Amino acid sequence: MNRLAITRVLLGALFLFRTSALSHIARGIHAPVIGPLLGWPDHAPVHAVVGGLVLPSSIAAMLAIVRTLSALSFTIGYRVRASGVVAAGCGWIALAQDPFGFTFTLHVMLLAVAVHAFATKPSASSYTLARIFTASIYFWSAIPKLNVAWLSGDVLRAYHALGMGHSAFFLDAHASATAIATVVMELSLPALLLCRRTRTIAVIIACMMHTIVELFYHPDVFGWLMVVLLVPFWPSNEKLSPSASR
């Protein structure tokens, strides 16, 4: 099994886990799944939805089932492109039907499934797409942190005060150092990951960062998702065609 196939299987499994009631066993889930599947209708008298269109319960339930079956198909490698795009699309519809349940972790996971639906064949081009996508997540995660509230450590101190982070890393002067180190790592990782010479060390740094964050603060399944998306960077002796056909 090549690294892209491993990524697809792990990503699909994480998707199925996070968009079903199974996710209740995980710690730190920020918007828990209500009902058996994400987007399952709950028959409340009032709904908040993006765009004002409330889907009938039967349609919402059908979309949740189609999404799950598509994610299963994506995971096992059957019609990967179509199933990945359908799974992600149905996932975004579910998020639009529940804007209070929107989290960027879910959004990035859906985007990852959509991208990996197009990066199935183990060609150089597919690996480049998968790697650029992962690198871009680090870059775009750093941008909103470039402000005084984050860099001064105030956000981390607030998390600690709210019981959402339990480490000395979140306290006093350490908070600012931790906040700055996070931004520096997130801004450096894209270049380090994309450069062949520094790729292995970058994967180690990234995995260490996610492990530390996971130990002291549970950011939904974001850490797991990123470790999965780092698989295409693992060193390997795979022989790749420059641009394999579909």
Judged by CB under 8 A, which of 100, 173, 197, 239 binds another protein? 100
Query: Does 199 engage in binding with another protein (CB under 8 A)?
Result: no
Token pair belonging to 6: 């491993």
Q: How crowded is residue 185: how many other Cβ atoms within 10 Å of its Cβ?
A: 17
Query: Does 76 engage in binding with another protein (CB under 8 A)?
Result: no
- Piece in contact with another protein (CB under 8 A), picked from 69-77, 134-142, 198-206, 230-238: 134-142
Using an 8 Å Cβ cutoff, are 88 and 29 in contact? Answer: no
- Location of structure tokens 């996710």: 23
Judged by CB under 8 A, which of 9, 26, 47, 61 binds another protein? 47
Q: How far apart are CA 126 and CA 231, in angstroms?
A: 13
Using an 8 Å Cβ cutoff, are 148 and 30 in contact? Answer: no
Query: Does 142 engage in binding with another protein (CB under 8 A)?
Result: yes
Using an 8 Å Cβ cutoff, are 171 and 160 in contact? Answer: yes
- Piece in contact with another protein (CB under 8 A), picked from 14-22, 141-149, 199-207, 224-232: 141-149
Least Å distance, CB 159 to another protein, is 6
Judged by CB under 8 A, which of 2, 128, 152, 188 binds another protein? 128
Q: How far apart are CA 175 and CA 215, in angstroms?
A: 16
- Piece in contact with another protein (CB under 8 A), picked from 68-76, 100-108, 200-208, 229-237: 100-108
Token pair belonging to 132: 């650029």
Burial of 207 (0-12, 13-18, 19+ CB in 10 A): middle
Query: Does 187 engage in binding with another protein (CB under 8 A)?
Result: no
Query: Does 132 engage in binding with another protein (CB under 8 A)?
Result: yes
Query: Does 105 engage in binding with another protein (CB under 8 A)?
Result: yes
Query: Does 99 engage in binding with another protein (CB under 8 A)?
Result: yes
Judged by CB under 8 A, which of 78, 136, 191, 234 binds another protein? 136
Q: How far apart are CA 73 and CA 239, in angstroms?
A: 27
Query: Does 83 engage in binding with another protein (CB under 8 A)?
Result: no
Burial of 112 (0-12, 13-18, 19+ CB in 10 A): buried
Q: Which is nearer to another protein, 169 or 222 (CB)?
A: 222
Query: Does 97 engage in binding with another protein (CB under 8 A)?
Result: yes
Q: How far apart are CA 149 and CA 12, in angstroms?
A: 36
Q: How far apart are CA 174 and CA 176, in angstroms?
A: 6
Q: Which is nearer to another protein, 234 or 241 (CB)?
A: 241
Judged by CB under 8 A, which of 4, 7, 73, 98 binds another protein? 98
Instruction: State the number of binding residues for another protein (CB under 8 A).
Output: 59
